[in-house]
Chains A and B, each alone.
Chain A
Amino acid sequence: MRPFAYERAVSAEDALNRHTDDAQYLGGGTNLVDLMRLGVATPARLVDVARLPYDRIEHRADGGLVIGAAVRNSDLAADLGVRDDHPLLAQAVLAGASGQIRNQATVGGNLLQRTRCPYFQDVTKPCNKREPGTGCPAVHGDNENMAILDPSPHCVATHPSDMAVALTALDARVRVRHSGGEDVVPLARLYRSPGDDPSRDTTLRPGDLITAVEVPGRLDMPARYRKVRERASFAFALVSAAVALDVADGTVRDCRIALGGVAHRPWRAHRAEDALRGRPATEASYRAAAEAELAAAEPLSGNAYKVTLAVNVITAALAGLGEDA
């Protein structure tokens, strides 16, 4: 193995000070350590931030949450306030990984986990995300589980997090500490499209440290997370959907729709939401809204099924909520 330094930060300031260009922050390590074993990640220094005092979940009166970045995924999903006020979030977290991994993984690490694209994870093959300029074999190779929305000729990888999909639907923001102070960044601005620089998953600058996730007050509408995969647990999504639906007098007053497994980032389906608000709460409306979103899909040779799948999953998930409403 390649030697690396391991340091444990005692505060955010300390973490920022210890971070150097060749360093990486270490959360639970469930993804980064794997990538180091594979030679995909080669940090010279690991700054462990999992023990910083960001292991609490703050509950606000309106149901809003401030989730510390070091909170373990299992603790987040088991938190009674989270389960009561944001069942969508708890469902999404529990849909990811396995019990053992959720016990270890942190919220900050979950947000910043890397794609599981098979080419990205294999250092004997080219990959623009891993080694910019080497090419993207997935465009013409095995792309069954690659992106269909907003792809780039340079990268068709998908973002793997379930939690981030739910947080995207919930309009969550992250608190980012950096040498100049602290920013609050909506998830929509944290993640980025691959464009011509797929090596960057997020807009974070080197050394930026996520300390917390802010979730606005509770959604006053039923919501659910639906994840599709060929085995019943412990698999990344082919497609997932976080949906919420507010129906009054048979009409959709409000809705939230976010998708996983379809793009380089958790995908907020604004077009579908816009198309659905004010429409009758019928399966036909849900489908039309889903189709409006997926009209922009650019499937590859092996993943056209995802277009149908995404439309069906949005439709079925909304229809399930419509029945409950």
Chain B
Amino acid sequence: MRIEGRAKVTGEAKYAYEYPAEDVAYAFAVTSDVARGEVLSVRAPELPGLITVLSCMDPPDIAPVSDAELHLFQSRTVSYRGQIIAAVVAETLETAREAGRLLEIEYAPHEMDVELDADHPGLYRPEKVNGGFATELGSGEPADAFAGSPVRVDVTYATPAEYNNPMEPHATLAEWTAPDRLVVHDSNQGSVVVRDTLAQIFGLDPEHVTVVSPHVGGGFGSKGTPRPVPVLAALAARAAGRPVKLAVTRQQMFATVGYRTPTVQRVRLGADPDGRLRAVLHEAVAQTSRIREFAEQAAVATRHMYRTPNLYTGHQVVRLDVPSPSWMRAPGETPGMYVLESAMDELAYAAGLDPIELRVRNEPETDPDTGLPFSSRNLVACLNEGADRFGWAHRDPRPGVRREGRTLVGTGVAAATYPAMTMPAKARVRANEDGTFTVSIAAADIGTGARTVLTVVAAETLKAEPDAVTVRIGSSDLPRAPLAGGSMGTASWGHAVARACEALLAKLGDGLPQEAEADTADELKNRPQYARHAFGAHFAETAVDLDTGEIRVRRLLGVYAAGRILNPQTARSQFLGGMTMGAGMALMERGVLDLEFGDYLNHDLAQYHVPVCADIPDIDAAWIEEADPHLNAMGAKGIGEIGIVGVAAAIGNAVHHATGVRFRELPLTPPAVLPALAAHGLTA
């Protein structure tokens, strides 16, 4: 069970907005109604209880950081509809919202450009894509090799804007305890990065900034990089001279805290008649905003998947008058593997091969990107284990032949992968006089079970009972640690905790209390070079209603090879959560761009649909025992993201298997599916 489980279900666990503060005031963010233009004037209403207004008419004194979204109120230029352009601070939340509504803002609107197009003249190649990866990589002669391949697939897929929308919105309580001391309770995926960012923006010694975040109600990437909320709360608190609370509304989350960029991706696969790849080309187009370059690394996973002598991967982005995209669960891998794994299914049909066999035949001996050996790679084992569990063996590959009344049924498979990163972290552990232990590390539990897993790691290393170990996380005052993101949290924190516990063990003979610390930076820097990745396989069975185009997932199975699984319960939750999000991506999630107003129209959870329980009747996750000595003290790979990777492809491939129709644009909703079924003579 989760250590904080009882506190959470009883409401005792406090989230950022719930902390009390004496004489607290409330801020409300005011967002732009135009997609591009200039703010001409901002006029505050006469309203009892209104304390102050912040806006670009009176730019506050703050220092810039690399993300211009955080450089609040410094420019009169509006870069997208929904951008925070002012804020009001009032005695109550109700007054603040009303003041926000009554704030009169005059704009000079300009013509906007909001639509992503694979031929957009503004497309360019960023210097790097996210993660610091090369924008383009090539080996051999991919275009020629493709042209000369006997079996070819040349397909273009599109994915829409998708939203993370954690249950807890981005929220901050900011308090200036002295003119140069700032304490914030904040909802984030890493207190240290928030602290460092705030310190830089407000010109403070990082030691004078404390970020407290013991419980976080989900992030899915959207709280990984600080968004404007903590900055605005601190600005408002400084202006009001009082503690200030700020939360964005659900509607505001669709513009102010990031989303997954829409993509257009072309994949070309050239193969021999036996399915062995000769050429792989993956080109990805994505959007970013005018003020922040966010280059989704959609083609990067393709660099690690299959053996081919000729490989090209490249990215382009275009700056549009749209909200800044940001991190969303498995950024890069999620849209990229959807397309690669769909294209692999198309190649299986073109080559007349079983899609699992096709993947097995193209299994590389070493990492196609770096040539390095894999620390461990068990994709084939995952595919085989999944095939056994799912009942793949007797599958009839012919599409469109399994009919149950007015329903067509099919199954599909797709591979999954995600990097297994371990980042430097510090941890401290103390052996107390009463025989208990206290572990301290600035880790974040965003609902993943990090606190529980770190307790297990410490107890195992100390050979103590978990009950004797208290893990303190969620504060920037604790030993420095990386954020909960990139599926590296548990691996990085756990490694540091294990090392600190090992150091403590050596001291335990000298009496109590004792304390030990670890810093894993040097050790990790000197690790041998390996390609470190987790792998997995997703299997889906779908039913397609021929009268309505409704698609329901009947079964979903994920099998993973992710090193040692530290806690089966929380790991299973992570996998199932990722798979469910993948089903949402396949079947319903889509930000609807409004071309007249330039915003994403369906900006709440009544309109932006994510799966409900009824959508996921039969879901299961399993894993291969994988002993990998080249990772970290636990032998663990991160598992927060791989569960979503490839799920949409498995579902799309199953829909093709059911109907014989290949859909290349997500999501697969009745308005999209029904006309295609009709065009193929499958309805009526």
Contact = CB atoms under 8 A, between A and B. Distances in A.
Interface of A: 1-2, 39, 98, 116, 118-119, 122, 124-125, 137, 140-142, 144, 228-235, 238-239, 287, 302-305, 308-309, 312-313, 315-316
Interface string B123-161: 000000000000000000000000000000000000000
A308 B606 contact: no
B345 to A, nearest CB: 22
Scoring B547, B615, B675 by chain A CB atoms within 10 A of each residue's CB, the highest score goes to B547
Contacts of B683: 308, 312
A313 B545 CA distance: 11
Contact of B678 (A142, A230, A238, A308): A308
Which 6 pairs from chain A and chain B are nearest by CB? A232-B614, A312-B547, A233-B614, A230-B669, A1-B94, A316-B547
Contacts of B606: 116
Contact of A231 (B33, B603, B612): B612
B671 interface: yes
B670 A230 contact: yes
A305 B675 contact: yes
Contacts of A238: 670-671
Given A141-B596, A228-B670, A309 B548 contact: yes
Interface string B185-229: 000000000000000000000000000000000000000000000
B97 interface: yes
Contacts of A239: 548
25 contacts: A1-B97, A116-B607, A118-B601, A122-B601, A137-B597, A141-B596, A142-B601, A144-B592, A230-B587, A230-B588, A231-B611, A231-B615, A232-B615, A233-B612, A233-B614, A238-B670, A303-B671, A305-B670, A305-B675, A309-B674, A312-B547, A312-B674, A315-B547, A315-B684, A316-B406
Nearest to B597: A125
Nearest to A302: B671
Contacts of A235: 609
B38 interface: no
Contacts, number: 94
B550 interface: yes
B98 interface: yes
A67 B102 CA distance: 43
A230 B612 contact: no
B549 interface: yes
Contacts of B615: 231-233
A137 B596 contact: yes
Contacts of A232: 552, 612, 614-615
A228 B612 contact: no
Nearest to A287: B684
Contacts of A39: 101
A2 B550 contact: no
B13 interface: no
B595 interface: yes
A118 B594 CA distance: 10
Interface string B93-117: 0100110010000000000000000
A124 B406 contact: no
Contacts of B94: 1
B643 interface: no
Contact of A142 (B548, B592, B674): B592
Contacts of B362: none
B607 A118 contact: yes
A287 B684 CA distance: 9
Contacts of A137: 594, 596-597
Contacts of B671: 144, 238, 302-303, 305
B609 A231 contact: yes
Interface string B610-650: 01111100000000000000000000000000000000000
Interface in B394-422: 406
A228 B678 contact: no
Given A230-B669, A231-B587, A118 B602 contact: yes
B667 interface: yes
A2 B683 CA distance: 51
Interface residues of B, number: 39
Contacts of B101: 39
Contacts of B667: 230
B609 A141 contact: no
Contact of A313 (B547, B596, B614): B547
Contacts of A116: 606-607
A1 B102 CA distance: 10
B596 A140 contact: yes
B674 A308 contact: yes
A247 B552 CA distance: 32
Contacts of B550: 228-230
Nearest to A323: B405
Nearest to B593: A142
Interface string B520-562: 0000000000000000000000000001111110000000000
A39 B678 CA distance: 41
Nearest to A319: B406
Nearest to A315: B547
Given A124-B33, A230-B588, A315-B547, 18 more contacts: A1-B97, A116-B607, A118-B607, A141-B596, A142-B592, A230-B609, A230-B667, A230-B670, A231-B587, A231-B609, A231-B612, A302-B671, A305-B675, A308-B678, A309-B674, A312-B547, A312-B683, A312-B684
A232 B587 CA distance: 11
A4 to B, nearest CB: 11
A122 B97 CA distance: 16
Given A1-B97, A303-B671, A228 B548 contact: yes
Contacts of B597: 124-125, 137, 141
Interface in B22-68: 33
A233 B613 CA distance: 8
Contact of B548 (A140, A287, A302, A313): A313
B555 to A, nearest CB: 14
A239 B549 CA distance: 12
A141 B587 contact: no
Nearest to B92: A1
A82 B20 CA distance: 49
Contacts of A140: 596
Scoring A125, A140, A287, A303 by chain B CB atoms within 10 A of each residue's CB, the highest score goes to A125
Contacts of A304: 675
Contacts of B594: 137, 141-142
Contacts of B551: 230
Contacts of A234: 612
A302 B671 CA distance: 9
Interface string B577-604: 0000000000110001011110001110
Scoring B98, B548, B614, B678 by chain A CB atoms within 10 A of each residue's CB, the highest score goes to B548
A158 B549 CA distance: 21
Given A142-B601, A231-B587, A235-B609, A2 B548 contact: no
Contacts of A122: 601, 603
Given A124-B33, A315-B547, A309 B670 contact: yes
A323 B684 CA distance: 17
A230 to B, nearest CB: 4
A235 B602 CA distance: 13
A93 to B, nearest CB: 16
A124 B601 CA distance: 11
Given A141-B596, A316-B406, A1 B98 contact: yes
Contacts of A233: 612-615
A303 to B, nearest CB: 7
Contacts of B611: 231
Contacts of A303: 671
Interface string B646-684: 000000000000000000000101110011001000011
Contacts of B614: 231-233
A52 to B, nearest CB: 28
Contacts of B670: 228-230, 238, 305, 309
A320 B97 CA distance: 51
Contacts of A142: 592, 594, 601
